[in-house]
């Protein structure tokens, strides 16, 4: 699908969609619990659908309806299962250890760039703990055996998703385990979100000196009902639109959330935008913007939209660093962001761990490719607010991975987007 977007000022108010990161975690914990759990949310996407399908394959029953996912937990895991993770790295990395803890001989399939996304650090730890894998570098991934308790160790700057998968799975094992993270630890807010969701289900994990101490034979206790927070990661796109042109309010956001991407308000304010946070409503309005340098270690998902914000700034130089892990996301996001910005008139340069963005050229508009990456689609749509001419996005349907109604909300705020080739 190709979409043409005309420059326009975005104004108004929308409600944040539910946090994809939190819903993933809630679903998996609910599937492991001792009773039914109702998870209230107001938006889904292909990644969440992948997790729902995989949990169903593992024996859970999940019903959708009326803004709710009703989860009946796994009573008896199957001996064998095929889990189609689609393009969801979270689904794959979270559920590999869970399937191992349940003793399921599982075949993990997927599409897009998922087969090339790394799992080797997690694989090594699982192999050391009793799990057999199919031959290296082969996809689909087949596992067999049962995960054993013991000492686990991961580098803290590779993927917080590996950490989450083990933190969810290890309490299920018969004996106690430890999980040590070798500093530096990046994307720490995602680990904190995992610990928070586990606490909702009564799971106790102690932490000291970059190590987690996990008692075995713990029981996931259903809280019966949960409501997912608004998603700061996706709200960041529209809040940035307010900073570029107009004034945008996003409701349903928790200002004290553990989501790391709530830092978007602080960063936009540093750039010079007018920011107000009141009773779960965040408003960002246009002001003269200056580019800033950004350490992306804990906020990698904000890099595409922050790159747009800085490219559209009135002055200054932006240096984004500690973002090397973006090379192994749904796309090579550093290369994708750089190319897209070049195509709409910005001068920038990639570095080993980030990107340098100059601001002396006005954004002109142009045609870009989405690289089949939802965050690239949304970032380029928001860039249109600062462009002199139209932006055309090829393969814009990638947005459905996390935010299927993005363009409906975009138009609600006054954006002008038309499908020109389906």
Residue 137 has pLDDT above 90, yes or no: no
Residue 227 has pLDDT above 80, yes or no: yes
Residues 190 and 243 in one domain: no
Q: Which of 73, 82, 197 is nearest to 142 (CA)?
A: 82
Supply the residues annotated as catalytic: 301
Residue 118 has pLDDT above 90, yes or no: no
Q: Are 292 and 316 in contact (CB under 8 A)?
A: yes
Residue 419 has pLDDT above 70, yes or no: yes
User: What is the pTM assigned to this prediction?
Assistant: 0.94
The boundaries of the domain holding residue 105 are 20-224
Residues 411 and 266 in one domain: yes
- Average pLDDT score over the chain: 95
Residue where a domain terminates, one of 224, 254, 280: 224
Name which residue leads in pLDDT, 44 or 14: 14
Q: What per-residue confidence (pLDDT) applies to 265?
A: 97
Residue 211 has pLDDT above 90, yes or no: yes
Q: What per-residue confidence (pLDDT) applies to 44?
A: 77
Ramachandran angles phi, psi of 289, nearest 5°: -110, 140
CA dist., res. 34 & res. 30, Å (int): 8
Neighbour tally for 192: CB within 10 Å:
14
Residue where a domain terminates, one of 207, 224, 241: 224
CATH number for 258:
3.65.10.10
User: Residues of the chain with pLDDT > 70: what percent?
Assistant: 100
Q: What's the structural domain count of the chain?
A: 2
Q: What is the DSSP letter of 410?
A: H
What mean pLDDT is predicted for residues 332-353? Answer: 95
Local structure of 384: helix, strand or coil: helix
User: Residues of the chain with pLDDT > 90: what percent?
Assistant: 91
Q: How confident is the model at residue 116 (pLDDT cuts 50, 70, 90)?
A: confident
Residue where a domain terminates, one of 224, 248, 280: 224
Q: What per-residue confidence (pLDDT) applies to 422?
A: 65
Residues 262 and 185 in one domain: no
Q: What would the pLDDT profile of 248-287 be if each residue is shown by its tens digit?
A: 999 999 999 999 999 999 999 999 999 999 988 999 999 9
Residues 218 and 248 in one domain: no
Q: How confident is the model at residue 410 (pLDDT cuts 50, 70, 90)?
A: very high
Neighbour tally for 130: CB within 10 Å:
15
Q: What would the pLDDT profile of 169-189 be if each residue is shown by its tens digit?
A: 999 999 999 999 999 999 999
Residue 363 has pLDDT above 70, yes or no: yes
Q: What per-residue confidence (pLDDT) applies to 121?
A: 95
**First-to-last C-alpha distance (Å) of the chain:** 4
Residues 59 and 175 in one domain: yes
Q: Are 242 and 261 in contact (CB under 8 A)?
A: no
């Amino acid at each position: 699908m190709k979409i043409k977007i005309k420059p326009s000022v975005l104004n108004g108010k929308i409600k944040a969609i539910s946090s994809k990161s939190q819903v993933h975690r809630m679903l998996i914990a609910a599937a492991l619990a001792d009773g039914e759990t109702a998870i209230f949310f107001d938006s889904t996407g292909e990644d969440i659908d992948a997790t729902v399908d995989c949990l169903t394959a593992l024996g859970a029953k999940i019903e959708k309806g009326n803004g709710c996912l009703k989860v009946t937990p796994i009573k008896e895991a199957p001996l064998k299962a095929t889990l189609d993770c689609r393009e969801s790295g979270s689904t794959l990395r979270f559920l590999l250890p869970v399937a191992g803890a349940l003793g399921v001989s599982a075949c993990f399939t997927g599409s897009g760039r998922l087969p090339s996304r790394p799992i080797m650090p997690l694989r090594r730890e699982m192999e050391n703990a009793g799990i057999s894998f199919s031959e290296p570098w082969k996809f689909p991934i087949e596992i067999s055996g049962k995960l054993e308790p013991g000492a686990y160790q991961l580098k803290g700057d590779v993927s917080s998703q590996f950490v989450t998968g083990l933190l969810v799975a290890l309490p299920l094992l018969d004996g106690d385990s430890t999980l040590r993270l070798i500093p530096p630890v990046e994307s720490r807010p995602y680990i904190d979100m995992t610990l928070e969701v586990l606490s909702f289900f009564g799971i106790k994990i102690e932490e000291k000196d970059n190590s987690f101490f996990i008692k075995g034979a713990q029981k996931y206790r259903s809280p019966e009902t949960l409501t997912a927070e608004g998603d700061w990661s996706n709200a960041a796109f529209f809040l940035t639109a307010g900073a570029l042109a107009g004034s945008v309010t996003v409701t349903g956001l928790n200002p004290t959330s553990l989501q790391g991407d709530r830092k978007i308000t602080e960063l936009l304010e540093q750039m010079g935008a007018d920011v107000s946070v009141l009773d779960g409503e965040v408003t960002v309005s246009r002001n003269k913007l200056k580019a800033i340098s950004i350490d992306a270690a804990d906020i990698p998902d904000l890099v595409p939209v922050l790159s747009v914000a800085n490219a559209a700034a009135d002055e200054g130089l932006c240096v984004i660093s500690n973002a090397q892990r973006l090379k192994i996301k749904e796309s090579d996001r550093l290369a994708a962001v750089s190319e897209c910005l070049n195509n709409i008139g910005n001068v920038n340069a990639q570095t080993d761990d980030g990107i340098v963005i100059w601001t002396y050229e006005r954004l002109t508009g142009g045609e870009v490719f989405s690289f089949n990456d939802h965050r690239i689609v949304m970032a380029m749509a928001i860039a249109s607010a600062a462009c002199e001419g139209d932006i055309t996005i090829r393969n814009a349907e990638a947005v459905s991975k996390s935010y299927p109604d993005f363009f409906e909300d975009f138009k609600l705020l006054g954006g002008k987007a038309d499908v020109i080739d389906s």
